[in-house]
Amino acid sequence: MAVDVQSQRHDRKALILYGSETGNSQDVAEELGRMAERLHFITRVSEMDLVEINKLPDYTVVIFAVSTTGQGEFPENARKFWKSLLRKRLPPDCLSHVAFTTFGLGDSSYPHSFTRGYLILIVADVNQGSISLLVNSISVWNNWEQRRFIRVVRPMNNMIKDGVTPIPQEVLLPPKLILELQENLPDPPQVSTSNQIYQADQIHHPAVSPQPAIEILNNSPGQTPKVQSELETPDTSKQSANRNKMERSPSQSIYDFPLPLEEEPAVCNQLRENFDGEPHDDPDSTFPPSKSVQMLDQFEVILLENKRMTPKDHWQDVRQLTFGVSDEEAYDPGDVINIMPKNFPEDVQTLIDLMGWNDVADIPVSFVPSPPDFYHADNLLSLAPGLFPIPGGTLRDLLTHNLDITAIPKRYFFELIAYNTDDPVHKERLLEFTNPALSDEFYDYTSRPRRGILEVLQDFPSVKLPWQRAAQFFPVMRCRKYSISSGGTLKTSPNRGMLKLQLLVAIVKYKTVLKKVRQGLCSRYLAAMPIGTRLKVTLTDGSLGFEATKAYYPLILIGPGTGVAPCRALIWERASAALFDKMIPTDETILFYGGRNKLADYFYSHEWNFHHLGLTNVFTAFSRDQKEKIYVQDVIRREKKEVWRMIAKGGIIVVCGSSGKMPRAVREAILWVMLEEGGVEKFPKGREDVEAELKRMEKRKHYVQETW
């Protein structure tokens, strides 16, 4: 008897949810989604906060891929969903029939996280009443073959035992979204490739819900596609409280004022490369155009200052960027500004030339669902909010403002482009990079030299990608987060109705093992930004906590390098609180600062002499100014009596900076000081008691870590 494959697909639904700050969990979720699709599941991959808990029972299997951020906290796009799971009024058996899986992705540089580099897989088989635990190294994640995933979902996998085989790996899954020209012009000829794509009548994505979370609306020619969200999120953040305060027409911008009469620092000429290997300086006219994607709760800022903080002959370029912002957009110490980067025009043109897209690059386009209509399947596609709401947007706009064409490619990228070349040698080489057995070779080609997507396409010029599927080949750009360095009276601006907002940004620019110059996508954009540039940003609440801003707590700040930015904001904010409210007693503040050289990267050193800031001591560690290397953790041990005195008074410890080795080393130094100075009288069980006390401090926000 024939098996009714289509009807069985309706009964096999997989929901894969991710919580991600940097995109690693999203990558894992999307890979799991492709695995589920090949097993004929109706598959939805989505951010956790885009799904309501009452939708979970609609699915056979639910998979959570969740990373940690801060001090073991949930990523921002997973917190609303997590809170909904904690509601007391939920029936205890509301999800009893749903089998679920969790992947925990963490970083050992944070005190509360999963071990670096490991995936923790918890499989709950409700039908069999059993729970199993698998731990796999993330470095061999790609060695997970389909048979392992089949084993995980075997209780739901009736189609396999009924003789319906998975979609073969060599068959290319179709895109869920394609581009379409918005002019009545015949479509360019399709690229002739050896693609084998799963046909539309075989696709396993019928409608899951009659009310989609995100819907692409039909547009008349020339209009930009609209993205409509039907998901209502509670307004709990300060940016939501400020929403809609500034409903002005473009001609009524609050930034229609003369720029301050300050000396305008020269915008750095970025060292870029023609891909023939010869570096050259590009003129400022190549700065990306001032269009922007639409983000929730966005507001406009204008660049007032772009100042280099390190000497010109220093190896690292660190910038102070000062923006003007409406005084209605209040911010606090520890808050983070999210900036969407842009690709530079010369890189976009290089890609357009390489792919042969010049004939369509400047014609308005819109997104349309690939048949069948995936958007009627309740947000099956994982899209960043506001992927393409640019008025009159073209393919060039999409490549400039939305898609990251210089990102280091994932393994799946090579699988996709291998089907878009007619050169058998190139195709064989590209498919080798998809082989998990050749992981070292893949790493040596991509991550080790930091080779980007654009360079890969130049290495394989026979690859010609169809422009209609651009969103499938290139990852969506993500906002970059920068801690605000201004607080207190530093916010004051001479312009009426405006505040100042400052960032301290280390420009990422270096040479790789291949002697190639590499630059950070967003820091390159910021370093080249001319004075007067207007851009749209969003604000995220920081994790420093309100307690640290109160002037009546002793405060120990530890901020090496650009980590001093949020520390500076706290210092000025506390000083202002004491200045304007005489009832607030001002307690002690000490700062531990670390850098390489005192003369090169001692940021804001001139400010630390201001007695009104309440700084009682500044302890420095410059690692390269003497023969032996000295770091902040070494100075903390040296100043053990002062540190313990302030801890014993109920002081708050704030650690800011790189998430590498520094936070762990500082934590160990603090534990050592507590054990050394507290002794057996305070900690009779030694290390065990000290660690328990530090955990209690973390719980009440008296040990706070803000690292990136």
Alpha carbon distance 218, 213 (integer Å): 16
Among 288, 292, 289, smallest CA distance to 300 is for 292
Average pLDDT, rounded, for the chain = 75
Same domain, 146 and 52: yes
Strand partners, 136: 119
Same domain, 311 and 272: yes
Give the least confident one: 372-381, 383-392, 607-616, 688-697: 372-381
CB 320 within 8 A of CB 607: no
Alpha carbon distance 268, 284 (integer Å): 9
Query: Mean pLDDT over residues 98-104, rounded?
Result: 68
CA angle 240, 243, 244 (to 5 degrees): 160
Whether 380 is in a domain gets the answer: no
Same domain, 498 and 573: no
Quote the pLDDT of residue 646. 94
CATH code for the domain of 396: 1.20.990.10
Alpha carbon distance 85, 54 (integer Å): 10
Residue 636 vs residue 478, higher pLDDT: 636
Residue 216 vs residue 313, higher pLDDT: 313
Residue 380 has pLDDT above 50, yes or no: no
Quote the pLDDT of residue 561. 95
Quote the pLDDT of residue 553. 84
What single letter denotes the amino acid at residue 50?
L
Same domain, 508 and 458: no
Same domain, 510 and 465: no
Whether 243 is in a domain gets the answer: no
Q: What's the residue count for the chain?
A: 708
Same domain, 697 and 555: yes
Whether 228 is in a domain gets the answer: no
540, 561, 590 - which closes a domain: 540
Residue 676 vs residue 277, higher pLDDT: 676
In this structure, are strands 555-558 and 589-595 parallel, antiparallel, or unpaired? parallel
CATH code for the domain of 632: 3.40.50.80
In this structure, are strands 509-511 and 271-273 parallel, antiparallel, or unpaired? unpaired
Whether 176 is in a domain gets the answer: no
DSSP 37: H
Same domain, 566 and 635: yes
Alpha carbon distance 409, 473 (integer Å): 10
Same domain, 434 and 507: no
Largest CA distance in the chain: 87
**Domain, as residue range, for 301:** 267-338+479-540
Quote the pLDDT of residue 373. 47
pLDDT digits (tens, 9 = 90+) for 447-480: 888 899 999 999 999 999 999 999 889 988 888 9
Whether 199 is in a domain gets the answer: no
In this structure, are strands 61-67 and 42-47 parallel, antiparallel, or unpaired? unpaired
pLDDT digits (tens, 9 = 90+) for 238-263: 444 443 333 333 333 333 333 433 33
Quote the pLDDT of residue 471. 87
Ordered DSSP codes for 307-369: EE-S-TTSSS-EEEEEEEEETTS---TT-EEEE-----HHHHHHHHHHHT-TTTTTSBEEEEE
425, 453, 473 - which closes a domain: 473
DSSP 671: H
pLDDT digits (tens, 9 = 90+) for 623-633: 999 999 999 99
CB 66 within 8 A of CB 103: yes
CATH code for the domain of 526: 2.40.30.10
Alpha carbon distance 145, 160 (integer Å): 16
Alpha carbon distance 703, 690 (integer Å): 13
Query: Mean pLDDT over residues 680-694, rounded?
Result: 94
Residue 4 has pLDDT above 60, yes or no: no
pLDDT digits (tens, 9 = 90+) for 124-182: 333 333 333 333 334 444 444 445 555 555 555 555 555 667 788 778 888 877 888 88
CB 45 within 8 A of CB 30: yes
Query: Mean pLDDT over residues 331-349, rounded?
Result: 93
CATH code for the domain of 136: 3.40.50.360
Among 222, 179, 534, smallest CA distance to 370 is for 179
Whether 205 is in a domain gets the answer: no
User: Which contacts (CB < 8 Å, 24+ apart) does range 185-191 have?
Assistant: 185/363, 187/468, 188/359, 188/360, 188/467, 190/466, 191/420, 191/464, 191/465, 191/466
In total, how many domains does the chain have? Answer: 4
Tokens encoding 7: 């009807």
Whether 598 is in a domain gets the answer: yes
